Amino acid sequence: MDQEGGKAFDLRLFNRLMEHTKPYQLTFYGVALAAILISGFAVLTPLLVGDIVDEAIKQEDAKALLNLVLALGGVLIGQVISQLLFNYYANWLGESVIRDVRIRLFRHMMGFRMKYFDNSSIGVLVTRAVADLQRIGEIFSQGFFVIVADLLKMVVVAITMLVINWKLSLIVFSLLPLIIYATRLFQKAMKKAFIDVRAQVSNLNSFVQERITGMKIVQLFTREKIESRNFREINKKHQDAWLKTVWYNSFFFPIADIVSSITVGLIVWYGGLLNVTNVNVEEYGMIFTFIMLSSELFRPLRQIADKFNT
């Protein structure tokens, strides 16, 4: 496999891939609708929790508490159902598209001249026709759709926060540049790391395939020890490439957790400041709402970073 990664995002290639969704337009729109519902439920849950605190618990209104808890239960059930439908049909659509692409690729390869196969490593061809296409399918179903859904959720959450309390929203948003900058650095590092991983996977597959098919030659020239040593070296490079991605993940996600924790601390500090100054002391539910909304705001950033890099 070529070690060059190419563009981070090839619009022309993406459009060609999107053309394969045309036979599945109904499913495509269903996935989009599920993403919209998920975004709506993401803000309804914190809002209801805030209402439970302010309108039911503080007012000691048992009837209101029961109604709000039932409403919250309905929202949570709707959120779970929407998420299940989104996950299933997004993956179904991705697998269907890749199945069609794989069939076209196989038919295309069947038309190649024998000279092409003589000059090409079978291991590399198998990797491209099977593993690489499967990876594209995962990026399409678990990457593209999830990223779009997460971006939509972030927009809805941000607008909701501004409507509730713009001052507190600005406090939360003040930390967004930090997490975005860290995400960008993480994305660049992980892109290089995964290019190396894909190259090492291809090299490993090629080596194993060529040695197995040529085992008679290996044994004829008594190269067993030499080839075993070569395999250990290739396998070690493959391991090192994967460990590098583990290191980057281990470094980035704790940073994201720290920023998220700082955000919660700032929200609590602001709520305490309001209490000390006797401003909006009755709106404790808003603090609970903002803590939950901030979590819904930062979680998609982490997921997007993870999807972009794999």
216 within a domain of the structure (yes/no): yes
The chain-wide mean pLDDT, for the chain, equals 81
304 within a domain of the structure (yes/no): yes
Q: pTM for the full model?
A: 0.71
Domain count, the chain: 1
- Residue ranges making up the domain that contains 58: 11-309
161 within a domain of the structure (yes/no): yes
Residue 3 — pLDDT band, cuts 50, 70, 90? Answer: very low
42 within a domain of the structure (yes/no): yes
197 within a domain of the structure (yes/no): yes
pLDDT in tens, 152-200: 999 999 999 999 888 888 988 888 888 888 878 887 888 788 888 888 8
Assign residue 287 the CATH number of its domain: 1.20.1560.10
293 within a domain of the structure (yes/no): yes
Residue 280 has pLDDT above 70, yes or no: no
DSSP assignment string, the chain: -------S--HHHHHHHHHTTGGGHHHHHHHHHHHHHHHHHHHHHHHHHHHIIIIIITTT-HHHHHHHHHHHHHHHHHHHHHHHHHHHHHHHHHHHHHHHHHHHHHHHHHTS-HHHHHSS-HHHHHIIIIIIHHHHHHIIIIIIHHHHHHHHHHHHHHHHHHHH-HHHHHHHHTTHHHHHHHHHHHHHHHHHHHHHHHHHHHHHHHHHHHHHHTHHHHHHTT-HHHHHHHHHHHHHHHHHHHHHHHHHHHHHHHHHHHHHHHHHHHHHHHHHHHHHTTSSTT-HHHHHHHHHHHHHHHHHHHHHHHHHH-
pLDDT in tens, 8-58: 445 566 677 777 788 888 998 999 999 999 999 999 999 999 889 888 887
6 within a domain of the structure (yes/no): no
4 within a domain of the structure (yes/no): no
